Amino acid sequence: MWLWLWWSTSTHVQAADDSLKPGDTLNFSSPQLYSQSGKYFLHFYSIADEASIDTYMAIYSAYDNSIVWKGNREQSVDQTDAVLSLNFSGVLKIESHFLEKPIILYSPPQPINNTMATLLDTGNFVLQQLHPNGTKTLLWQSFDYPTDTLLPTMKLGVNHKTGHHWLLVSQLTQMHATPGVFSLEWEPTGQEMIIRRRGKVCWRSGKFRNNRFENIPEDAQRVLKYSIVSNEDEDSFSFISKNENHTRWWFLSDTGQLSHNQGYVVRADLCYGYNNDGGCQRWQDIPKCRNPGDVFTKKMLYPDYEYVTYDKNENISHSDCEASCWSNCYCNGFKEFTDGTGCIFYHWNSSDNNTIDGTVSGVDFYILENTRKITPHHRGRSTANFLVLFSID
């Protein structure tokens, strides 16, 4: 497997280049659009594997070049002619010949030409209408459309005036920016955060007491100041860093890990099976063949399998494979295909025939093990007629 990630190597632009004015454009080879103090920059980037090259418009943290927002995650564009533009009618859009129609970020009800799109030092990309008296009206902002990263002052929750919900949604895989299976949301009734996996709650932060959430480690909270708003206009949660010189953000990974730029906040990827620690919720039934202590462990081994089966669905990823294998009493291990989608399932002949040979170069996969040394139930031999033989080169 190989993976490329790149953007053009243009020089740092000055404060005057933090905005697009009517008629301005930005493409893959343009200088990055930097915020006034240089904390964030906006640019196109490409990610490639053996099969394709996908290009996205993104906002980066200049601190470590982390991508904190994507403008077209549901539809990639062509690197050679992708362009972000603000036209003289006030329309902010992304265009490419690869698209049947432009990706419209904002289009006003009536044409207006006194607009400006600016990247702020908060990481928020805003489109504003400029008035003769010097005031500005906010028309659109990237903070209203979070992707997989929660920046300081960015909200989770709901705008009661518009019905618009603010939430994080993970990528499908590291190589596919399309929305994935996990979401981080604010639940105003209980005043707590939740993580859903394909719509089902798999983790809860616990109640907000004494300025802390009970299921988030203290070292992930002590540097943050929370803001919780509940009124007729909105119900929302946000945070800021107590140390203004150190920006902290939360990132929701494709496997369900919520992390900040110095460690983990939540390990929702471990919320399956019998695990009810740290806010984990029961979101799927446990088969009779599973036992307390059963977990999937990533190892590079040579599996002594009886057979393997495949699911080549390109819209599923790691957690789907894990959930499917856990629910199948004949499944003992799994891995994804090269691009992170689809599943390969390994099956032993029986619970007594699961020998692993670690003396040779093997396969990187997730094997079901029991950490409490409980003897597994006998699984028996499958009589399914859809089995596919698999050999390792």
Residues 172 and 184: their CA atoms lie apart, in Å, by: 14
Residues 392 and 225: their CA atoms lie apart, in Å, by: 52
Residue 378: what are its φ and ψ, rounded to 5°? Answer: -70, 130
Residues 232 and 214: their CA atoms lie apart, in Å, by: 27
Residue 361: what are its φ and ψ, rounded to 5°? Answer: -60, 125
Mean pLDDT of 226-243: 95
**DSSP SS3 for 14:** coil
Task: Say which residue the tokens 């919320």 belong to.
Answer: 271
**DSSP SS3 for 325:** helix
Closest CA to 35 of 63, 58, 13: 13
Q: Left (φ > 0), alpha (ψ -120 to 50) or beta: where does 346 sit?
A: beta
Q: What is the pLDDT of residues 60-113, one digit of tens each?
A: 999 889 999 999 999 999 999 999 999 999 999 999 988 889 999 999 999 998
CATH of 146-284, one of 3.30.2000, 3.40.1350, 2.90.10, 1.10.8: 2.90.10
Beta bridge partners of 18: none
pTM over 0.85: yes
Lowest mean pLDDT among 10-24, 144-158, 172-186, 290-304: 10-24
Banded pLDDT at 386 (limits 50, 70, 90): very low
Torsion over CA: 263, 247, 38, 257 (sign): positive
Banded pLDDT at 145 (limits 50, 70, 90): very high
Torsion over CA: 296, 300, 306, 311 (sign): positive
Q: What is the pLDDT of residues 291-337, one digit of tens each?
A: 999 999 998 877 777 889 999 999 999 999 999 999 999 999 999 99
